[in-house]
Amino acid sequence: MSEAFIIAVPAKGRLQENAESFFARAGLTLLKPRGARDYRGSIADVPAIAVAYLSAAEIVEALAEGGAHFGVTGRDLVHELISDPDQRSIFIDDLGFGHANVVVAVPQAWIDVRSMADLDDVASAFRLKHERKMRVATKYVNLTRGFFAARGITDYRIVESSGATEGAPAAGTAELIVDITTTGSTLAANGLKVIEDGIILRSQASLVASRQAKWGVLERDTARIVLDRIAAQKRARAVREVRTRFAACDDALLAQAKQRFGVEAPFGGPTSSGMLTLHCPPQYVHALASLLREQGADHVSVMRLEYVFSRSNSLYTKLESGL
């Protein structure tokens, strides 16, 4: 197994489900041959790959140390747990799920604190009045320090928290918190509010490659297969295929459609009989269909696509140039 190409995937919960369906859409079906409780898996038709089901922090560690080639993880953890993320990992793509923000939140009772500038002022006043610094409970020690430093806030102390951070102010173990939130409802339930310019990081699940892993010819080939499928699925999701045929369909019309709707003609311009296949961003499909009919088309068909494979693969290029 040590020779395998390893993809690290969250071991439980919504993130695991979302990651599995993301890979499945890309034609990479995750299998657990020894049952659902197994922490090792594989991918249906790519035997070179081993899937490792790990906890969120373990995934980041595996990426930082080279124990996995690819990992599905949140940006928040990459930036928190790896001190030099660009040296150790390559960000390949956002995956479109697991959205959450790392935010600065203070008690709702602090009605005079709306901005980080307010917080800076209050922090200094707090130290002078109480002879100690304001405490910030968080598990995001590095993100907090970097964000506060960039805003010139120095009068605070970090209290590391490993769970239920939002309860710290009410419990009296901290004055404010930095934590991850999706809707803010947990914060509100604990009498906290997010500071307006206190969003430290907008995070979502991402595909990240390790720079520390072994990247020989075999590993690169495997990566190319995986990224080819992901890119093909991504491209397919981003467009609708629009087909038509009519005599007046010419290069001038194509140029107009490109300019107005950003369409592409993956198989070239109209044929001599006026046959044309376009890839159009979903939001312009109806406008494009109207334009084509105004110009003489009798029929315009629009399809969702499964995959769009291209010779060039921007995701693989990203990996290659990062290695």
Kindly state whether residue 256 participates in binding another protein, applying the rule CB under 8 A.
no
> For another protein, which stretch binds (CB under 8 A), given 79-87, 221-229, 243-251, 292-300?
79-87
In what helix (H) or strand (E) does residue 198 lie, and over which residues does it extend?
A: strand 192-203
What's the distance, Cα to Cα, between the start and end of the chain in Å? 23
| Binder of another protein out of 156, 246, 261, 284 (CB under 8 A) | 156
**Least distance (Å) from another protein to the CB of residue 25?**
38
Kindly state whether residue 189 participates in binding another protein, applying the rule CB under 8 A.
no
**Least distance (Å) from another protein to the CB of residue 201?**
17
| Binder of another protein out of 2, 33, 36, 112 (CB under 8 A) | 112
**Least distance (Å) from another protein to the CB of residue 109?**
5
Residue 283 contacts by C-beta under 8 Å, 6 or more apart in sequence?
none
Q: Helices 251-261 and 285-294 meet at what angle, rounded to 10?
A: 150
Structure tokens at 277: 């296949």
Kindly state whether residue 106 participates in binding another protein, applying the rule CB under 8 A.
yes
Structure tokens at 290: 């109207």
Nearest C-alpha neighbor of 106 from the set 206, 198, 208: 198
Kindly state whether residue 289 participates in binding another protein, applying the rule CB under 8 A.
no
| Binder of another protein out of 176, 178, 225, 230 (CB under 8 A) | 176
Kindly state whether residue 86 participates in binding another protein, applying the rule CB under 8 A.
no
Kindly state whether residue 109 participates in binding another protein, applying the rule CB under 8 A.
yes
Residue 19 contacts by C-beta under 8 Å, 6 or more apart in sequence?
9, 10, 72, 95, 205
Residue closer to another protein by CB (options 125, 303) is: 125
Kindly state whether residue 111 participates in binding another protein, applying the rule CB under 8 A.
yes
Residue 36 contacts by C-beta under 8 Å, 6 or more apart in sequence?
none
Interacting positions 125-154 with another protein (CB under 8 A): 125-126, 128-135, 141-142, 144-145, 148-149, 152, 154
**Least distance (Å) from another protein to the CB of residue 194?**
14
Residue closer to another protein by CB (options 160, 221) is: 160
- What is the C-alpha separation between 149 and 152, in angstroms, rounded? 5
Q: Give buried/exposed letters for 32-44 (b at 16+ CB in 10 A, else e).
A: eeeeeeeeebbbe
Tell me the sheet residues that pair with 54: 10
The residue ranges that bind another protein (CB under 8 A) are: 83-84, 87, 106-112, 114, 120-122, 124-126, 128-135, 141-142, 144-145, 148-149, 152, 154-158, 169-170, 172, 175-176, 191
